[in-house]
Structure 1
Amino acid sequence: MEVILAKSAGFCPGVQRAVNMVYEQTEIPERGPVYTYGPIIHNDEVVRDLESRGVRVIHSVDELAGLPKGTVIIRSHGVSREVYEKIESGGFDIVDATCPFVKRIHNIVEEQGKEGRDIIIIGNPDHPEVQGIRGWCRTPSVVIENVDEAVRFSRINAEKLCIISQTTFNYNKFKELVEIISKKGYDINCVNSICNATAVRQQEARDIASKVDAMIVIGDKSSSNTQKLYEISQKECGNTYYIQTLVDLDLTAFESIRNVGITAGASTPNHIIEEVHTNVRIKF
């Protein structure tokens, strides 16, 4: 059996940076307790390891009330301006691990708002990155996730619009939705804010899946970018498996398979990828 492992599989630079920053803070006891605003990444194994080192996950500013003062780490998804300011005013130190690509979007929507443009965010409205982005908009914003929403869209308050995207959104779907909105006649400034690492990962998954008999996508079930990889892979290869670790994979399903492709989301640690890759190769 031939096993093709995607070169882009695993931690992206933004996730690796955020995880490293949390581990670094656990090595500075004089800074006090370490908290992360939400799980630092969408991977239960990494979160559990950090918890074993004393890192506590909080999910709202209200949870900080009464807790010992310490350091709050903003995860790679970023947070709204209001959340940031409330943490700071509560007397906590802040370590901002927001992905630089996400931080760029915060700056863009602020500047576009100053120019009087309403903001359209192409993405998942329930995703923390998108919720954070909306918190930096100075003008009205709306989130569009699918074709139906794009077709139904009518202007918010302004004739001038800025369209940006969640960094992990499917690039081809982004282009499709932008094209639909662009036909409505608004003055539109469109910014492709899908990060390069995401675009490369998605294209590589598409290429590999089109050549193999089975595809394995590794990542946490709550990971948006992993879900996109699964959707892309499944379109090219109907025999696609979405797993979190090796335990979730039935290796007997690959006994008659000639070639297998493997990719992984941006929040998947390398040792999990290596374990899956090694076991699939050794087994057959």
Structure 2
Amino acid sequence: MKILIAEYAGFCFGVKRAIETAYQEIEKNKKGKIYTLGEIIHNPLVIDDLFKKGVKVIEEKDLEKLSKGDKLIIRTHGVSKKLYDFLTEREVEIIDVTCPFVKKVQNIVYEYYNKGYSIIIVGDKNHPEVIGVNGWCDNTAYVLNSIEEAKKMPQLKKACAVAQTTLIEKHWEKILEVINTKVEDLIFFNTICDATQKRQSAAEELAKKVEVMLVIGGKHSSNTQKLKKICERNCKNTFHIEAPKELTLDMIKEHEIIGVTAGASTPDYVIEDVLKRIKILKGEDKNE
């Protein structure tokens, strides 16, 4: 049996920084209240561990409950400008771990919106990153996630287009082609995260070489879901698992070359536990 692991699998820089910051705050703030605005990452194993250590998840509709001195961790997805202003007024201590790539998108949108450009965001309108970015242009952006949606967009004189950072490159390119026919003066920025592109490319190449592909990551993780789609196109035996216990012998018993990749919200220890489970299920102690 061979187990091949895709390059760039697991925590990306932004997620790693966010998780490290959360644990640092736990150490510094033994008795104070620490909250994260929504789940800090889409991984239930990490969320459960943080909760056990006193970090509570709070949703935007409940932010009125926060008081002066409470600590709120802004997750990697980022938030709207309006929300920053609201928290500052309430004197909540903001611990901002917005991913630098997402922050770049926010800054572009804010700059060009204030220059009079219409804003176009290519991505999922329900994804927290996109919701937050839209908040930097007063929620006026055209949010498009398909060629059909792009075709329905009205003709615009001048616009600035950006991409959700976890978007699949080809998806962005196809929609951008349509947008280009809809805007007289178009400025666009490919804001897909470099780490995302590398992760997707590595997963795609590996999926072509293996008999079965395991994609590890949260079921609600956007970048993990996209990895699954990419792998499925290149390996029909692709399985998305969130935790090692979800891996069954039926998934791998007929296969000797097994590929593994993982989303940006997947800790190294989860990947290691999946590798151990593969070996146990196959009755092997080490890779050949």
- How far apart, CA to CA, are the structure 2 residues paired with 1:55 and 1:43? 15
Partner of 2:286: none
Question: Equivalent residues in 2 for 1:92-131 (5 A)?
Answer: 92-131=92-131
Alpha-carbon distance, 1:186 to partner: 2.2
Partner of residue 86, structure 1: 86
Per the alignment, residue 217 of structure 2 pairs with 219
Distance 1:259 1:62, change over 3 A: same
SS in 2 for 1:263: strand
Shift of 1:67: 5.4
- What percent of counterpart residues are identical? 41
* Residues 259-284 of structure 1 deviation map (CA, whole Å, 9 limit, x = unaligned): 11110000011111111123224543
| Equivalent position of 2:232 in the other structure | 234
Could you say if the C-alpha distance between residues 257 and 28 of structure 1 is closer, same or farther in structure 2, counting changes exceeding 3 Å?
Answer: same
Residue 26 of structure 2 corresponds to residue 26 of structure 1: yes
CA distance in 2, matches of 1:120, 1:87: 27
Cα offset for 1:114?
A: 2.1
Aligned-residue offset at 1:203? 0.5
1:146-196 deviation digits (Å, cap 9, x = unpaired) = 1211122223xx510111001001111001110121123521111000000
CA RMSD across the alignment: 1.6
Stretch deviating more after TM superposition (246-255 or 50-59): 246-255
Counterpart among 166, 169, 172 of residue 168 in structure 1: 166
Once the two structures are TM-superposed, the CA of residue 90 in structure 1 deviates from its matched residue by: 1.2
Quick check: 125-134 or 55-64, which moved more? 55-64
- Residue 13 (structure 2) aligns with: 13
Q: For residues 114-193 of structure 1, what are the structure 2 equivalents within 5 Å?
A: 114-137=114-137, 140-155=140-155, 158-193=156-191
Q: Is the 8 A contact 2:67 2:91 kept in 1?
A: no
Q: What does residue 285 of structure 2 align with? A: none
Provide the C-alpha distance between the structure 2 equivalents of 1:11 and 1:37, rounded to a whole number of angstroms: 20
Q: Which runs of 5+ in 2 are unaligned?
A: 283-288
C-alpha contact 1:109 1:138 (8 A) present in aligned 2: no
**TM-aligned CA distance change 1:275 to 1:17, over 3 Å:** same
**1:234-273 correspondence to structure 2 within 5 Å:** 234-273=232-271
- How many Å separate the matches in 2 of 1:137 and 1:220? 30
Question: In structure 2, what is the Cα distance between the partners aligned to 1:115 and 1:3?
Answer: 52
Post-superposition Cα deviations, 1:190-233, rounded to whole Å, max 9, x if no partner, equal 10000000000000111111111111001111100000000111
Deviation at 1:7, TM superposition (A): 2.0
Q: Is the 8 A contact 2:68 2:92 kept in 1?
A: no
Q: Is the 8 A contact 2:3 2:259 kept in 1?
A: yes
Q: TM-score, normalised by structure 2?
A: 0.93
CA drift at 1:68: 7.1
Aligned length: 282
Q: Deviations over 1:93-118 (max 9, x none)?
A: 11111000000111100111122111
8 Å CA contact 2:113, 2:119 repeated in 1: yes
Long gaps (5+) in structure 1: none
Q: Which amino acid aligns with 1:191?
A: F
Summarize the alignment of residues 50-61 of structure 1 with structure 2, pairs less than 5 Å apart: 50-60=50-60
CA deviations on 1:48-102 (whole Å, 9 max, x unpaired) are 1111111111001534426574111100000011111111211211111100000
Letter in 2 for 1:54: G
8 Å Cα contact 2:68-2:90 kept in structure 1? no
Query: Distance in 2 between the 1:36 and 1:4 partners?
Result: 35
Moved more, 137-146 or 85-94: 137-146
How many angstroms does 1:139 deviate by?
Answer: 7.9
2: CA distance between counterparts of 1:67 and 1:54? 17
- Indicate conservation of the 8 Å contact 2:11/2:267, yes or no: yes
Partner Cα separation in structure 2 for residue 69 and residue 57 of structure 1: 17
